[in-house]
Amino acid sequence: MKAADTSDNSRSGSLDGSNAAGEETDFGFRRVAEPAKAPLVRAVFNSVAERYDLMNDLMSAGIHRWWKSEMVALLNPRPGQRLLDVAGGTGDVARRALPRLATGGSGAVVVCDANRQMLEIGRARALDDGILAGIEWLCGDAEALPFADRSFDLYTIAFGLRNVTRIGGALAEARRVLKPGGRFVCLEFTPTMAPTVAPLLQPLYDIYSFQVLPLLGQIVTGNRDAYAYLVESIRRFPPQGELAGLIAAAGLDRAKYRNLTGGIAALHSAWRL
């Protein structure tokens, strides 16, 4: 059974929700026409899908696993709630949340991602591990989610928001599909480390990001350019306070953030009230 396909779009990043003809957006450090970005980003993830999770372990020394556990702890899912995990890829976050949602058999997770290949890998791994129910795998666009208004109690997006074409559009969709009282949590890399840490570690972090990671990507996946893009996309992403402002502007309430690992990543959270 293949994951359902509802979209031909992918992850990419301008800040607002506009879509005027002729507008450009960032693809890493390049400027491209907005319609060109989705195919470019989709090609990046297609090229690394088979070893994407392995690369996450290698390039973060496994720390991404703790970040995702912290994300689920902050989300605090409860039995019977419905979670939408957008840009959920191979299901790392979904699989962490499922045991807390599915107590009593009534909870459910929908993994929605623009990349069919990532979803197929995630679904196959879940089946291999005996996860036969509780997760639905759906190919769809973060900026045009194929769900009714107020459909979910919880919304998560991990390492995906920086890849959408219009961040404001994706955030507006998050609010739309959340029920009143629904919880929004975003895990994302930050463009620079926290100011208290950066003076000492930022130069080393820059060397690691721009030299070591692309080389590691070449060795493990055969695609240096894909990981050069991923690093560049992080540096083009809004800093923590600016992103919190965008979340609030989309109509989500009580937006706040917490830095992780010296500000390499951050958890943003908000509510639909």
Enclosing domain of residue 26: 4-193+229-272
User: What's the confidence (pLDDT) of residue 242?
Assistant: 96
pLDDT in tens, 163-177: 999 999 999 999 999
pLDDT in tens, 196-227: 677 778 888 888 889 998 898 899 888 888 88
User: What's the confidence (pLDDT) of residue 14?
Assistant: 47
User: What's the confidence (pLDDT) of residue 13?
Assistant: 44
User: What's the confidence (pLDDT) of residue 2?
Assistant: 39
pLDDT-flagged residues of the chain (< 50): 1-3, 5-14, 16-20
> Could you give the strand order of the β-sheet that contains 82-86, starting from the edge strand earlier in sequence?
4-5, 135-139, 108-113, 82-86, 152-158, 178-189, 265-272, 253-260
Does residue 132 form part of some domain? yes
pTM over 0.75: yes
Does residue 96 form part of some domain? yes
For residue 204, count CB atoms less than 10 angstroms from its CB and return exposed for 0-12, middle for 13-18, buried for 19 or more.
Answer: exposed
User: What's the confidence (pLDDT) of residue 1?
Assistant: 37
Separation in Å, CA 233 to CA 34, 122, 123, 124, 236? 15, 24, 27, 29, 5
Kindly give the pairing relationship between strand 265-272 and strand 178-189: antiparallel
Are 244 and 255 in contact, with CB atoms under 8 Å apart?
A: yes
Q: How many domains does the chain have?
A: 1
> Token match 């107020």: residue?
150
Tokens of 23: 């507008």
Are 151 and 84 in contact, with CB atoms under 8 Å apart?
A: yes
Alpha-carbon distance 247 to 110, whole Å?
Answer: 22
Does residue 254 form part of some domain? yes
Does residue 52 form part of some domain? yes
Does residue 223 form part of some domain? no
Does residue 221 form part of some domain? no
